[in-house]
Protein backbone atom coordinates (compact mmCIF):
# COMPACT_ATOMS: atom_id res chain seq x y z
CA UNK A 1 0.00 0.00 0.00
CA UNK A 2 1.12 3.54 -0.70
CA UNK A 3 1.94 6.41 1.61
CA UNK A 4 0.68 9.86 0.61
CA UNK A 5 1.84 13.27 1.77
CA UNK A 6 -0.79 15.82 0.73
CA UNK A 7 0.32 19.47 0.80
CA UNK A 8 -2.37 22.13 0.67
CA UNK A 9 -2.27 25.37 -1.29
CA UNK A 10 -2.35 29.03 -0.33
CA UNK A 11 -4.65 30.05 2.54
CA UNK A 12 -5.90 26.49 3.03
CA UNK A 13 -4.97 23.83 5.58
CA UNK A 14 -4.78 20.08 5.90
CA UNK A 15 -8.56 20.18 6.34
CA UNK A 16 -9.04 20.57 2.58
CA UNK A 17 -8.26 16.86 2.08
CA UNK A 18 -10.87 15.65 4.58
CA UNK A 19 -13.07 13.99 1.92
CA UNK A 20 -10.15 12.26 0.21
CA UNK A 21 -8.32 10.85 3.23
CA UNK A 22 -10.97 8.30 4.30
CA UNK A 23 -11.26 7.06 0.72
CA UNK A 24 -7.53 6.36 0.55
CA UNK A 25 -7.40 4.85 4.02
CA UNK A 26 -10.32 2.57 3.18
CA UNK A 27 -8.08 0.98 0.56
CA UNK A 28 -5.23 0.48 3.04
CA UNK A 29 -3.12 3.50 2.19
CA UNK A 30 -1.56 5.79 4.79
CA UNK A 31 -1.95 9.55 4.49
CA UNK A 32 -0.64 12.68 6.18
CA UNK A 33 -2.18 16.11 5.59
CA UNK A 34 -0.13 18.70 7.47
CA UNK A 35 -1.03 22.29 8.17
CA UNK A 36 1.79 24.23 6.58
CA UNK A 37 3.22 27.14 8.61
CA UNK A 38 0.52 29.79 8.94
CA UNK A 39 -2.16 27.53 7.46
CA UNK A 40 -5.04 25.63 9.02
CA UNK A 41 -4.54 25.39 12.77
CA UNK A 42 -0.85 26.41 12.61
CA UNK A 43 -0.30 29.89 14.01
CA UNK A 44 3.36 30.50 13.27
CA UNK A 45 3.76 34.32 13.02
CA UNK A 46 3.96 35.53 9.43
CA UNK A 47 7.29 37.28 9.96
CA UNK A 48 8.87 33.92 10.85
CA UNK A 49 7.60 32.10 7.77
CA UNK A 50 9.72 31.66 4.65
CA UNK A 51 10.19 29.07 1.91
CA UNK A 52 12.98 27.18 3.75
CA UNK A 53 10.57 26.69 6.70
CA UNK A 54 7.88 25.42 4.33
CA UNK A 55 10.35 23.08 2.65
CA UNK A 56 11.66 21.75 5.94
CA UNK A 57 8.11 20.81 6.93
CA UNK A 58 7.75 18.66 3.81
CA UNK A 59 11.26 17.20 4.08
CA UNK A 60 10.62 16.14 7.69
CA UNK A 61 7.48 14.30 6.58
CA UNK A 62 9.42 12.57 3.80
CA UNK A 63 12.16 11.56 6.25
CA UNK A 64 9.61 10.05 8.66
CA UNK A 65 7.52 8.29 6.00
CA UNK A 66 7.15 4.50 6.32
CA UNK A 67 7.94 4.06 2.62
CA UNK A 68 8.84 6.20 -0.37
CA UNK A 69 5.80 8.49 -0.53
CA UNK A 70 3.70 10.01 -3.25
CA UNK A 71 4.08 13.72 -2.48
CA UNK A 72 1.14 15.78 -3.71
CA UNK A 73 1.14 19.55 -3.93
CA UNK A 74 -2.03 21.51 -4.63
CA UNK A 75 -1.79 25.01 -6.11
CA UNK A 76 0.94 26.87 -4.15
CA UNK A 77 1.88 23.50 -2.64
CA UNK A 78 3.78 22.84 -5.85
CA UNK A 79 6.46 25.27 -4.70
CA UNK A 80 7.42 23.50 -1.47
CA UNK A 81 7.21 19.97 -2.91
CA UNK A 82 9.62 21.04 -5.67
CA UNK A 83 12.17 22.24 -3.13
CA UNK A 84 11.63 19.11 -1.02
CA UNK A 85 12.27 16.88 -4.03
CA UNK A 86 15.56 18.65 -4.67
CA UNK A 87 16.52 17.93 -1.04
CA UNK A 88 15.35 14.28 -0.94
CA UNK A 89 15.21 12.89 -4.49
CA UNK A 90 15.94 9.30 -3.52
CA UNK A 91 13.28 9.18 -0.81
CA UNK A 92 10.27 10.06 -3.00
CA UNK A 93 8.24 7.71 -5.20
CA UNK A 94 6.91 10.62 -7.23
CA UNK A 95 5.64 14.19 -7.14
CA UNK A 96 2.04 14.94 -8.11
CA UNK A 97 1.14 18.52 -9.01
CA UNK A 98 -2.61 19.03 -8.59
CA UNK A 99 -3.45 22.16 -10.62
CA UNK A 100 -0.28 23.36 -8.92
CA UNK A 101 2.55 25.76 -9.61
CA UNK A 102 5.42 23.83 -11.19
CA UNK A 103 8.38 26.22 -11.44
CA UNK A 104 11.45 25.90 -13.59
CA UNK A 105 14.77 26.46 -11.86
CA UNK A 106 15.13 30.00 -10.51
CA UNK A 107 11.45 30.88 -10.93
CA UNK A 108 9.20 32.10 -8.14
CA UNK A 109 5.46 31.64 -7.78
CA UNK A 110 4.41 35.23 -8.38
CA UNK A 111 6.50 35.25 -11.55
CA UNK A 112 4.37 32.37 -12.90
CA UNK A 113 0.97 33.83 -11.97
CA UNK A 114 2.01 37.26 -13.28
CA UNK A 115 1.76 35.81 -16.78
CA UNK A 116 -1.98 36.41 -16.42
CA UNK A 117 -2.18 39.97 -15.03
CA UNK A 118 -5.92 40.25 -15.65
CA UNK A 119 -6.84 36.90 -14.09
CA UNK A 120 -9.43 36.50 -11.38
CA UNK A 121 -6.78 35.53 -8.85
CA UNK A 122 -4.80 38.71 -9.62
CA UNK A 123 -7.94 40.80 -9.23
CA UNK A 124 -8.79 39.08 -5.94
CA UNK A 125 -5.55 39.60 -4.02
CA UNK A 126 -5.68 41.84 -0.95
CA UNK A 127 -2.42 42.65 0.84
CA UNK A 128 -2.15 43.10 4.58
CA UNK A 129 -1.05 46.49 5.91
CA UNK A 130 2.37 45.15 6.87
CA UNK A 131 2.86 43.47 3.48
CA UNK A 132 3.64 40.09 5.05
CA UNK A 133 0.47 38.26 4.05
CA UNK A 134 -2.34 38.37 1.53
CA UNK A 135 -5.93 37.20 1.39
CA UNK A 136 -8.52 36.94 -1.36
CA UNK A 137 -11.50 39.20 -1.88
CA UNK A 138 -14.26 37.27 -0.13
CA UNK A 139 -16.86 37.97 -2.80
CA UNK A 140 -14.60 36.32 -5.41
CA UNK A 141 -13.63 33.22 -3.41
CA UNK A 142 -16.59 30.99 -4.42
CA UNK A 143 -15.82 31.45 -8.13
CA UNK A 144 -12.05 31.49 -7.66
CA UNK A 145 -11.63 28.31 -5.65
CA UNK A 146 -14.96 26.49 -5.44
CA UNK A 147 -16.89 27.10 -8.67
CA UNK A 148 -18.11 23.50 -8.87
CA UNK A 149 -18.76 22.91 -5.17
CA UNK A 150 -22.04 22.91 -3.25
CA UNK A 151 -23.11 26.04 -1.31
CA UNK A 152 -22.59 24.13 1.95
CA UNK A 153 -19.05 23.13 1.00
CA UNK A 154 -18.25 26.64 -0.20
CA UNK A 155 -19.33 28.15 3.11
CA UNK A 156 -17.45 25.55 5.14
CA UNK A 157 -14.23 26.05 3.18
CA UNK A 158 -14.40 29.83 2.95
CA UNK A 159 -14.76 30.18 6.71
CA UNK A 160 -11.50 28.27 7.23
CA UNK A 161 -9.25 30.21 4.88
CA UNK A 162 -6.26 31.97 6.46
CA UNK A 163 -3.97 34.82 5.35
CA UNK A 164 -1.13 33.47 3.20
CA UNK A 165 2.52 34.38 3.96
CA UNK A 166 3.73 36.42 0.99
CA UNK A 167 7.33 35.18 1.25
CA UNK A 168 6.38 31.79 -0.23
CA UNK A 169 5.30 33.31 -3.53
CA UNK A 170 8.20 35.77 -3.77
CA UNK A 171 11.15 33.42 -3.23
CA UNK A 172 12.91 31.78 -6.21
CA UNK A 173 12.81 27.99 -6.31
CA UNK A 174 16.02 26.15 -7.10
CA UNK A 175 16.35 22.63 -8.45
CA UNK A 176 18.80 20.66 -10.55
CA UNK A 177 18.61 17.95 -13.23
CA UNK A 178 20.84 15.72 -11.10
CA UNK A 179 18.48 15.72 -8.11
CA UNK A 180 14.96 17.05 -8.81
CA UNK A 181 15.32 15.93 -12.41
CA UNK A 182 15.39 12.25 -11.51
CA UNK A 183 12.14 12.32 -9.50
CA UNK A 184 9.05 11.10 -11.36
CA UNK A 185 6.47 13.85 -11.85
CA UNK A 186 2.76 13.79 -12.63
CA UNK A 187 0.65 16.81 -13.44
CA UNK A 188 -3.09 16.61 -12.73
CA UNK A 189 -4.68 19.41 -14.72
CA UNK A 190 -8.11 20.77 -13.81
CA UNK A 191 -9.83 22.22 -16.84
CA UNK A 192 -12.39 24.43 -15.05
CA UNK A 193 -9.90 26.02 -12.67
CA UNK A 194 -10.41 29.78 -12.20
CA UNK A 195 -7.40 30.30 -9.90
CA UNK A 196 -4.65 28.62 -11.92
CA UNK A 197 -6.27 28.57 -15.33
CA UNK A 198 -5.93 25.62 -17.66
CA UNK A 199 -3.93 27.86 -19.99
CA UNK A 200 -1.43 28.57 -17.22
CA UNK A 201 -1.33 24.91 -16.21
CA UNK A 202 -0.54 23.90 -19.78
CA UNK A 203 2.10 26.59 -20.06
CA UNK A 204 3.90 25.03 -17.08
CA UNK A 205 3.45 21.53 -18.50
CA UNK A 206 4.99 22.65 -21.80
CA UNK A 207 7.82 24.53 -20.09
CA UNK A 208 8.81 21.67 -17.75
CA UNK A 209 7.19 18.51 -19.16
CA UNK A 210 6.16 15.97 -16.52
CA UNK A 211 6.36 12.20 -17.01
CA UNK A 212 2.61 11.79 -16.87
CA UNK A 213 -0.43 14.05 -17.34
CA UNK A 214 -3.91 13.42 -16.00
CA UNK A 215 -6.98 15.54 -16.62
CA UNK A 216 -9.95 16.30 -14.38
CA UNK A 217 -12.98 18.29 -15.55
CA UNK A 218 -13.16 20.22 -12.28
CA UNK A 219 -12.46 23.59 -10.74
CA UNK A 220 -9.55 24.40 -8.44
CA UNK A 221 -10.67 22.17 -5.57
CA UNK A 222 -11.38 18.60 -6.76
CA UNK A 223 -10.70 17.35 -3.23
CA UNK A 224 -14.05 18.96 -2.37
CA UNK A 225 -16.02 18.70 -5.59
CA UNK A 226 -14.81 15.29 -6.85
CA UNK A 227 -13.08 13.44 -3.99
CA UNK A 228 -13.84 9.94 -5.30
CA UNK A 229 -12.35 10.68 -8.70
CA UNK A 230 -9.35 12.38 -7.12
CA UNK A 231 -8.68 9.48 -4.75
CA UNK A 232 -8.87 7.09 -7.70
CA UNK A 233 -6.36 9.21 -9.59
CA UNK A 234 -4.04 9.27 -6.59
CA UNK A 235 -4.17 5.48 -6.42
CA UNK A 236 -3.41 5.25 -10.13
CA UNK A 237 -0.45 7.58 -9.65
CA UNK A 238 0.88 5.45 -6.77
CA UNK A 239 0.60 2.30 -8.84
CA UNK A 240 2.32 3.96 -11.79
CA UNK A 241 5.14 5.20 -9.54
CA UNK A 242 5.58 1.84 -7.81
CA UNK A 243 4.82 3.38 -4.42
Q: Could you read off the pLDDT of 71-91 as tens digits, one per residue?
A: 999 999 999 999 999 999 999
Torsion sign across C-alpha atoms 231, 211, 148, 79? positive
Q: Could you read off the pLDDT of 118-169 as tens digits, one per residue?
A: 899 999 999 999 999 999 999 999 999 999 999 999 999 999 999 999 999 9
Q: What percent of the chain has pLDDT over 70?
A: 100
- Domain carrying residue 14: 3-241
Q: Say how far apart CA 219 and CA 221 lie, in whole Å.
A: 6
* Residue 243 scores a pLDDT above 90: no
Q: Could you read off the pLDDT of 30-66 as tens digits, one per residue?
A: 999 999 999 999 999 999 999 999 999 999 999 999 9
Domain count, the chain: 1
The mean pLDDT of the chain is: 97
Q: Domain holding 21: CATH number?
A: 3.40.50.1820
Q: What percent of the chain has pLDDT over 90?
A: 99
Judge contact between 82 and 92, C-beta under 8 A.
no
Alpha carbon dihedral 47, 50, 193, 26, in 10-degree steps, equals: -110
**What interhelical angle do 77-87 and 51-63 show, nearest 10?**
60
Residue (of 187, 186, 192) closest to 221 by Cα position:
192
Amino acid sequence: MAHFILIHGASHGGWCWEKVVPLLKAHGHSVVTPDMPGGGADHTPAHKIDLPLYTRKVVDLIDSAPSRPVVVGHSMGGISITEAAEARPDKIACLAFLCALMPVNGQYAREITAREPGSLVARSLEMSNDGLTYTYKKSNVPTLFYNDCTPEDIFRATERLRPMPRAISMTPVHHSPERYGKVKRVYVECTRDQAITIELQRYMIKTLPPDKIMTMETGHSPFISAPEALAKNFEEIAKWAGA
